[in-house]
Amino acid sequence: MPEGINTPSKEFGAVMVNDTLYYSSLNFESTDDKGKKNRRYARILFSVDGVAGKELLNGVNDTTKHTANLVFNKDKTKRYFTRCRYKDELSTEITCAIFMQAQAQDGTWGESMMLPDQINEAGTSNTHPSIGMDKLTGDEYLYFASDRANGKGKLDIWVSEILPEGGFSMPKNLHIVNTEENDVSPFFHNPTQTLFYSSEGKQGLGGLDIYKIRKNNNSWGEAENMGKPVNSSLNDLHFTLNDEGNMGYFSSNRVGSTYLEEEYKLCCEDLYAAEFNIMADLLALVFNKNDNSELPETTIRLLEKLPNGEILEVATLSNPESNIFPFFVERGKTYFLESSHEGFVGQIDTLFVPFDAPDKLEQNIYLNPISVDLQILTYDLDSEEPLSGAAVQIIELGENEEEKIVQEQFNDYGSDFKFPLELNKNYLIRATKPGYKPLEELKLSTEDIKKPEQFLAELFLKRISFSDFLPLAIYFDNDYPDQNSSNRTTDVSYEETVEEYYERKEEYKLLFTEPMTQEEAFLMTERYEAFFEREVKEGMEALKKFSSVLFHFLERGNEVRIKLRGYASPRAEDQYNYNLSYRRIVSVENFLRSYNSGILIPYMTSGALSIERDPIGEKMHQTM
């Protein structure tokens, strides 16, 4: 980096925040009481647009101690740094502790506070803080270097969870990266969940080399040496990377760095900036494959395929508002996009990001809806032949088995029916046809279906025969139709008379129970209720069903002769009763003529349907 940032002294610990570069410099000297220069101390500086660094104020730097390694938490409301002191007046060794400053709501920074004992353990040196966030949980962690006991040797990298109330968990040794030598300057890159650090305990290019290792939930991948030109044969450390992944900063004492004196040309690190072509923006867009509509409420897991075949989870995103999912991906890597959405078939798309990929990538993902298709075939039970002319209803069953017809189809020319069904529903399937009765109803559930399904069901219907209805008895009110008439004919249909008769049900209950005791009245009321419901009302329904069976029998070319017997109560003279029973027969004929808009009239006209009238009068009635 340019002069004004780098000096003949040591510069290190650079981190870019927005457009400001924060870094540490060992270019400050203390003086004794006589004005004689004494020891060098580090302070934290900041620089904008590459101009010479200025000392950071607001109570961070301590002129009597080394102050260095400034980092921020994710939302930039806290900053962490180290203060180090010489062990004694003559020693060149230092011991360090980690401090923190919190920002007030007005934007000012509070007092510097040393982190608690579990971080700054007594008798140990603790330095190089970095704040990393777990993308899955949102929890923040403090990574730092320490020479405390129970490590692998010298300085090790440790990690402690930053608790919600502001405390810290007991630090754990990050065994997977540590060696018997120094392992230092951890930096956790949140967008890629990657830890960068330096180690002199592995076979590298020489001195301290920079490594990276990817975090996958609670496990870690394999450490990779960053290689040339980041690493050199000398010391390379304090690596940081901006959020976009295209600019990195580190310190190195490689050849070409500035130095104080010729004989100490390898003494001091300088800051280096490296442009990277590592990261690219990936925009995943999810659509419904059926109609290309946008598909919000999807969840996508971004998985990386490592060189050893291991699958590493990089990030998981859910978007309830839109179909847009932004990710960072690394060039030269192979990824899997695992998409899931309720009601759709989950799928995995493969994405290779070439080294020459543009900075912004788009990946369209098309998900197939989980379809449940039902095919129904209807059959005649007696002949076992396909049955055309049926209707099939799809009935949705509620929690209490209440029924709601949601689909219905008729097929006058065939016996097959196809229906799309919704997921997580309970259905009842019912087939009907005039002149037939269903033998069974099919129950079907679409709960817990995770892939497209096709169901096939066969429904058998049994032809209704005349024997199912005959003999059929129907009832009239007193002296109906046409009261006080001596005519044998009438224009009234039976259906008209029965409706008026049924409406008088309550009147008859009161009329015939009035002189009775309470107990007798109760029994008689029950009898009248049963008579009107089972005989009067159901008799009318049976007549309608009989008429339907009659029509379908006739349309197949058959001939039918019906005998209608009419009866009357013995409340008038024989001739009156005879005429009344005759009118009742005619009223039934009138019903047959008017049934279903007159579909029986052609058969009555042609003689295919003939009716024999048999007026009995006041004799004891027999069912017809």
Rounded to an integer, the average pLDDT of 167-195 is 95
Which DSSP letter does residue 576 get?
H
Specify the DSSP class assigned to residue 607: T
Average pLDDT over residues 419-427: 91
Amino acid at residue number 65: K
Query: Which of 98-102, 114-118, 306-310, 607-611 has the least mean pLDDT?
Result: 306-310
pLDDT of residue 266: 47
Q: What is the pLDDT of residue 267?
A: 58
Phi, psi of 22 (to 5 degrees): -100, 135
SS3 category, 17: strand
Which residues contact residue 265 at a Cβ distance below 8 angstroms, ignoring those fewer than 6 apart? 259
Quick one: average pLDDT of 552-573? 88
Instruction: Note the maximum CA span of the chain.
Output: 151
Q: In CATH, which superfamily holds the domain spanning 372-463? A: Carboxypeptidase-like, regulatory domain (2.60.40.1120)
308-312, 368-372, 404-408: the lowest-pLDDT one: 308-312
pLDDT given for residue 307 in this prediction = 80
Residue 83 has pLDDT above 90, yes or no: yes
**Binning pLDDT at 50, 70 and 90, where does residue 270 land?**
very high
Quote the pLDDT of residue 264: 42
Q: How far is CA 401 from the centre of its chain?
A: 28
Q: Model confidence at 401, in pLDDT bands (50, 70, 90)? A: confident
Tell me the backbone φ, ψ of residue 533, rounded to 5 degrees: -80, -45
CB-based contact 133:141 (threshold 8 Å): yes
- Would you list the domain boundaries of the chain? 56-248, 279-367, 372-463, 467-617
At 475 the pLDDT is: 94
pLDDT of residue 621: 43
Sign of dihedral through CA atoms 577, 580, 585, 586?
positive
pLDDT value, residue 136: 78
Q: Alpha carbon 423 to chain centroid distance?
A: 14
For residue 249, is pLDDT > 90?
Answer: yes
Helix (H) or strand (E) holding 426: strand 426-432
How far are the Cα atoms of 82, 225, 268 from residue 208, in angstroms, in the given order? Answer: 21, 11, 14
The pTM score is 0.56
**What average pLDDT does the chain have?**
89
Look at residue 516 in the predicted model and tell me its pLDDT: 86
Indicate whether 553 pLDDT > 60. yes
* Other Cβ atoms within 10 Å of 506 Cβ, number: 12
Segment 408-422 mean pLDDT: 93
Nearest Cα neighbor of 115 from 57, 185, 172, 169 is: 169
Q: What is the mean pLDDT of residues 295-308?
A: 91
For residues 18-42, give the mean pLDDT: 78
Q: Quick: pLDDT tens for 476-492.
A: 999 999 999 999 999 99
**Residue 549 reports pLDDT greater than 50:** yes
Q: Residue 55: its pLDDT value, please?
A: 93
> Which region among 464-468, 567-571, 601-605 has the lowest average model confidence (pLDDT)?
464-468
Burial category of 517 from C-beta neighbours within 10 Å (exposed 0-12, middle 13-18, buried 19 and up): exposed
Report the pLDDT averaged over residues 79-95: 87
In Å, how far are 73, 169, 228, 369 from 78, measured between CA atoms?
A: 6, 18, 34, 46
pLDDT at 33 over 90: no
What's the 3-state SS for 437-494?
EECCCEEEECCCCCCCEEEEEEEEEEECCHHHCCCCCCCCCCCCCCCCCCCCCCCCCH
Choose between 612 and 519: higher pLDDT.
612
- Is 56-248 CATH 1.10.3720.10? no
- Tokens representing 177 are 């990266």
HEC string of 531-558 equals HHHHHHHHHHHHHHHHHHHHHHHHHCCC
Provide the token pair at 604. 């009555």
Give the containing element (helix H, strand E) for 502. helix 494-503
508: its two tokens: 């008859």
For residue 8, say if its preceding peptide bond is cis, omega within 30 degrees of 0. no
Strand order in the sheet with 279-288: 324-330, 279-288, 360-367
Beta strands in 270-398 (DSSP E): 270-275, 279-288, 298-305, 311-319, 324-330, 334-340, 347-352, 360-367, 372-380, 390-397
The token duo for 125 is: 């040196």
CATH topology agreement for domains 279-367 and 372-463 = yes
Report, as an integer, the average pLDDT of 105-121: 94
Asked if the model's pLDDT at residue 237 lies above 90, the reply is yes
Q: pLDDT at position 618, please?
A: 72
The encoded tokens of residue 288 equal 């419904």
- Other C-beta atoms closer than 10 Å to the C-beta of 220 total 17
Average pLDDT score over residue span 229-245: 92
Q: What are the pLDDT digits (tens) for 353-389?
A: 988 788 899 999 999 988 899 999 999 998 899 999 9
What does the pLDDT read at residue 261? 46
Output the pLDDT for position 363.
Answer: 96
Q: Is the pLDDT of residue 82 over 60?
A: yes
Residue-level pLDDT at 263 = 44
First to last CA, the chain: 113
CATH code reported for the domain at 279-367: 2.60.40.1120
Give the Cα separation of 134 and 327 in Å (integer): 15
Higher-confidence position of 178 and 40? 178
Q: What is the pLDDT of residue 37?
A: 53
- For the chain, what percent of residues have pLDDT higher than 70? 96
